[in-house]
Amino acid sequence: MNSLQPQTPFNASKYPVVDRHGTPFTPGCRVRFTLQSYYINTFGDEGVLCSNIDAYGGFTIHARKQWPVRDRNGAYNIVRHEVYASVARYTKGRFVTAGKLDEQDVFVDVIP
């Protein structure tokens, strides 16, 4: 079972979900990511996919390091390993987990 099969127990979205290289996600796969932190800030790490893909194409990653979580005012609230990532764009009938934040790439890639 992988993320190419939509509306399954693993991928609840209506479309296939792939990384920016076209690789599908599998349950428990290792990933490398750079995600938005607060406005135009980013953070990156490696981790393991620890949830199924939700109806919006998003999923939870258990990161190697703990990351501070900011509130809507930019203050640090808590520190945790789990980060949520959602798809960045829809293209060619698929959700792709990559996009741009200002001039920086944001992505989630499968580590082979």
Checking if the pLDDT of 43 tops 90, the result is no
Is 9 contained in some domain?
Answer: no
pLDDT band at 27 (very low <50, low <70, confident <90, very high): very high
* Nearest-angstrom CA–CA distance, 97 and 46: 15
Look at residue 40 in the predicted model and tell me its pLDDT: 65
- Whole-model pTM: value is 0.85
92-109 per-position pLDDT tens digit = 888 888 877 666 788 899
Is 78 contained in some domain?
Answer: yes
Look at residue 103 in the predicted model and tell me its pLDDT: 65
pLDDT band at 39 (very low <50, low <70, confident <90, very high): low
Is 82 contained in some domain?
Answer: yes
> Domain containing 27: what range?
17-105
Is 10 contained in some domain?
Answer: no
Is 4 contained in some domain?
Answer: no
| CB environment 75-103: b (16+ within 10 A), e (fewer) | eeeeeebebebebbeeeeebbbbbeebee
Contacts of 82 (CB under 8 A, 6+ apart): 50, 60, 61, 62, 63
11-26 per-position pLDDT tens digit = 999 999 999 999 999 9
